[in-house]
Amino acid sequence: MATKPRSFKKMPFLPDLAGMSGFVTFVVVLLFNKGRSLIDGDTFWHLAAGRHMLENGVILTQDIFSHTALGKSWTAHEWLSEILMAWLHQYFGLTGTVLFFFLIAALSFWLLFRIVSTVAGDWAAAFAVSLALIFSMQHMLVRPHLFSWLFGVITLHALHKQGRWLWILPPLTILWTNLHDGFILGLALQGLFIGGTVLDGLFSGSDTKIKSLFGNVKGPAIFFFLSIVGTGINPFGFKLLIFPFLVSSEIFSTNIQEWLPANLQQDWHFRLFLLSVLVLMSLRAT
C-alpha cells in the first residue's frame, strides 16, 4: 500500500512551508548576495539597451554599441526584459531593480517547494530546494535569465497539475520567448513529459493504460504544438527557435565563464552534494 510523503507538523501560527521557503530565499539572497548581484557587466548592458528602446520606441535590430560591428544585424532576443529593466531603473533606481529580480527568484523557489512537497513530502522539498538555492547563488544576478527560472517552474507545475493548467502553457511560452531565450527549456519540459507518458503507457504491462495512452497524450500534445507556434509571436519570428543553438558555438562556449563546465575542485558544496547522494543511496528503503 502506497504511503503518503512525510511532512512537517502543521503549526497554525506559522505560514505554510512553501511561503516560508520563498521568504527565506528572499532574505538569504538579500543578505548574502546583494553585492554580488551586480558584478556581471551584462546587467548594465541590458539597462542601456532597454533605455534606448524605451526612449526611441523601437526594438534594436542593429548593433549600436560596438565600434567595429556598428550597424551589423542584432537579435535583441531579450528585448522585453531589457525594456522592463530600464523602466524599473527609471522609476525605482538600481535598488528597486535588484529587489524585483530577487522577488522573481523567491517566487521561483516558493513554487518549486510546493511542487516537490506535493510529490515527495516536506522533508524532501526542504532538502532539495535548499540544495538548489546553494547551487544557484552564483547565478543570482540581475539579468533576464531569472525569468526562465520562474517560467520553468511554472511549466513544471502546469504539467504536474494537468487539466486546465495546460491552457497557460501557450501564452506563457509567448511571454517567455520575448523575455529570455530559455523558453527552449519550457518546450523541452513539455516534450519530456509527453515522452515519459508514452513510455509509461507502453511499458506498464497494463492493457488499460495502453488503451488510454492516446487520451493521456492528446491534450499535452495539442498544447505543446500551440506552444511551438507561440514562439513565433515576437519581433524576430521563428528565428528565435534556432537562436539559442547559434550562440552555442565554440567562441561562446569556450570564452564565456558562465558557459564553462563546473569546476569541481572549486565548487566544494557540489562535492558535499555528491557525498550526501551516495549516503542516501546506501540507506535501505523502508
Q: What is the pLDDT of residue 47?
A: 94
Convert 77-138 into a string of H (helix), E (strand) and C (coil): CCHHHHHHHHHHHHHHHHHHHHHHHHHHHHHHHHHHHHHHHHHHCHHHHHHHHHHHHHHHHH
pTM of the model: 0.82
17-32 vs 79-120: helix axis angle to the nearest 10? Answer: 130
Residues of the chain with pLDDT under 50: 1-2, 285-286
Using alpha carbons, list the distances in angstroms from residue 246 to 45, 170, 225, 280: 21, 24, 23, 40
